[in-house]
């Protein structure tokens, strides 16, 4: 082995870690700033979720229970934004609510990020009932009489004064239930209190660690479909043809993985080449 080759191997094995971390930072940030939209396979469960929303007709009522706290929300942010955009584009009426006291501000942020179309009026096209205390008791009560359970909306307006809520009193007026977040507990409560007695159509958005736990409900048909984590969100963004934060995140993840694999290959190649040189 020549001196030049030995020098190159030595440099590869003693490369400054700051260079590695610097390249990794660039590989992660660049796709976030300018997403490439790398090819992504659409899974059947995400396709089914999309088709269920797509089947809704203008004016139908969607009850949207937002249950994410600030800690879990970032992973599924892209999914939630994409689904809300799809719903507003379909022209359905949306009633938002939450049984998680930490979720109120997170939902408002999500709506701001989704961008409510200017032609959609609060109280007519959508409403937010706010935080409903009581956990499973509240979920059961909302199914039977929303007006008795939430006498005012999040902003303190009596829901009797909202034109939308004059059309919605109980689960019988709801065409579709969407639950965003809630870990493993809240979805099971909705299955018990909304699906089991009323057979309401139910879609779920959740983070990756929760997805496998809820799969049995999907297999049993109690939950029609799920969008899980950043990957599910990226697929949904592609389906509605509005790539966003989830697609950018998946691009960044792919570039990061490629760079790490490259460093592993280079490091191992240099190591084995140096052993042959010593022999």
Mean pLDDT of 171-179: 97
Confidence of residue 250 (pLDDT cuts 50, 70, 90): low
Does the predicted model carry a pTM greater than 0.75?
yes
Q: How far apart are CA 52 and CA 61, in angstroms?
A: 13
Mean pLDDT of 257-276: 66
- Residue 231 scores a pLDDT above 80: yes
Q: What is the pLDDT of residue 244?
A: 74
Contact (Cβ atoms closer than 8 angstroms) between residue 197 and residue 66: no
Q: What is the pLDDT of residue 74?
A: 86
Mean pLDDT of 43-60: 97
Within the chain, strands assigned E span 61-66, 93-98, 126-131, 176-180, 202-206, 225-228
Note the pLDDT tens digit of each residue in 126-142: 999 999 999 999 999 99
Note the pLDDT tens digit of each residue in 64-94: 999 999 888 988 999 999 999 999 999 999 9
Confidence of residue 192 (pLDDT cuts 50, 70, 90): very high
Residues 6+ apart with CB under 8 A from 279: none
Q: What is the pLDDT of residue 41?
A: 86
Mean pLDDT of 27-31: 63
Least confident among 170-179, 208-217, 246-255? 246-255
The chain-wide mean pLDDT, for the chain, equals 87
- Residue 273 scores a pLDDT above 70: no
Q: What is the pLDDT of residue 265?
A: 74
Q: What is the pLDDT of residue 156?
A: 96
For residue 140, give Cα distances in angstroms to 52, 135, 170: 24, 9, 10
Q: What is the pLDDT of residue 247?
A: 72
| Closest to 181 (Cα-Cα) out of 226, 118, 146 | 226
Q: How far apart are CA 53 and CA 242, in angstroms?
A: 16
The fraction of the chain above a pLDDT of 90, given in percent, is 67
Show the domains of the chain with their CATH numbers.
44-250 (3.40.50.10160)
- Residue 251 scores a pLDDT above 90: no
Token output for 269: 């190649």
């Amino acid at each position: 082995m020549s001196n030049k080759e030995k020098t190159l191997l030595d440099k590869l094995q003693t490369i400054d870690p700051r260079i590695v971390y610097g390249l990794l930072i660039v590989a992660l940030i660049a796709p976030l700033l300018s997403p490439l939209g790398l090819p992504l396979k659409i899974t059947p469960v995400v396709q089914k979720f999309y088709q269920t929303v797509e089947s809704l007709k203008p004016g139908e009522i969607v009850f949207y229970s937002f249950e994410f706290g600030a800690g879990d929300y970032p992973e599924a942010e892209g999914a939630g934004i994409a689904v809300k955009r799809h719903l507003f584009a379909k022209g359905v009426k949306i009633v938002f609510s939450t049984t998680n006291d930490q979720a109120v501000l997170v939902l408002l942020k999500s709506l701001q990020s989704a961008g409510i179309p200017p032609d959609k009026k609060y109280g007519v096209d959508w409403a937010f009932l706010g935080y409903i205390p009581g956990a499973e008791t509240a979920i059961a009560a909302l199914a039977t009489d929303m007006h008795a359970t939430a006498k005012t909306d999040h902003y303190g307006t009596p829901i009797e004064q909202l034109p939308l809520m004059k059309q919605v009193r109980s689960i019988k007026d709801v065409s579709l239930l969407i639950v965003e977040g809630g870990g493993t507990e809240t979805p099971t409560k909705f299955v018990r209190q909304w699906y089991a007695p009323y057979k309401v159509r139910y879609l779920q958005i959740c983070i990756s660690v929760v997805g496998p736990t809820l799969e049995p409900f999907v297999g049993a048909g109690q939950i029609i479909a799920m969008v899980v984590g950043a990957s599910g969100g990226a697929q949904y963004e592609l389906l509605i043809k509005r790539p966003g934060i989830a697609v950018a995140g998946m691009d960044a993840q792919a570039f990061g993985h490629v760079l790490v694999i490259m460093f592993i290959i280079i490091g191992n190649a240099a190591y084995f080449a140096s052993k042959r040189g010593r022999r």
